[in-house]
């Protein structure tokens, strides 16, 4: 009988440990923010290596915030579909754009806010960073 109890105790301990790992992972995955940085290939609708001009012509429904905002830029958020030439030059003169309508929502859990930034170098997209955060 003691041998059976010993085996049963080991089984219970193994199951409890596995359950603890699964619950811990689920809590971590659903509770803690994360950052995803893509340096090659695709990140949602964005293609690494694509030029700023190509991106603007391909995604007219997007809204971007140039960072840092140039002084000559009349407003913060620029709607690609209705932007003026001044707003276009504001976007094209900066190497960091914040996406206004997150297209990479699928990488974050539903309860997180999504913040995606595009980084350019020499007019070409070099990285897309998506940060999943708890709402403030």
* pLDDT, tens digit (0-9, with 9 covering 90-100), for 48-81: 999 999 999 999 999 999 998 888 888 889 999 9
3-class DSSP assignment, residue 14: helix
Q: Tell me the Ramachandran region of residue 44: left when phi exceeds 0, alpha when psi lies from -120 to 50, beta otherwise.
A: left
- Tens-of-pLDDT digits for all 136 residues of the chain? 455 557 777 877 888 888 887 776 666 655 667 888 999 999 889 999 999 999 999 999 999 999 988 888 888 899 999 999 999 999 999 999 999 887 877 777 777 888 999 999 999 999 999 988 877 7
**Six token digits for residue 37:** 């940085």
| In the chain, where the domains are located | 1-32, 34-133
Q: CA–CA distance from 18 to each of 5, 10, 29, 77, 134 (Å)? A: 20, 12, 16, 48, 28
Task: Kindly report the number of other CB atoms within 10 A of residue 71's CB atom.
Answer: 6
**For residue 99, what are its two tokens?**
């996406």
pLDDT at 31: 63
pTM of the model: 0.73
């Amino acid at each position: 009988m003691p041998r059976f109890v010993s085996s049963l105790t080991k089984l219970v301990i193994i199951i409890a440990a596995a359950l603890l790992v699964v619950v811990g992972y689920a809590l971590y995955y659903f509770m803690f923010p994360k950052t995803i940085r893509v340096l090659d290939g695709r990140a949602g609708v964005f293609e690494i290596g694509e030029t700023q001009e190509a991106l603007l012509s391909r995604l007219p429904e997007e809204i971007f915030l140039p960072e840092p905002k140039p002084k000559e830029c009349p407003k913060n958020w620029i709607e690609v579909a209705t932007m003026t030439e001044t707003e276009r030059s504001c976007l094209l003169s900066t190497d960091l754009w914040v996406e206004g309508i997150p297209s990479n929502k699928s990488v974050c859990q539903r309860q997180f806010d999504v913040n995606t930034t595009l980084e350019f170098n020499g007019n070409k997209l070099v990285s897309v960073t998506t940060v999943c955060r708890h709402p403030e």
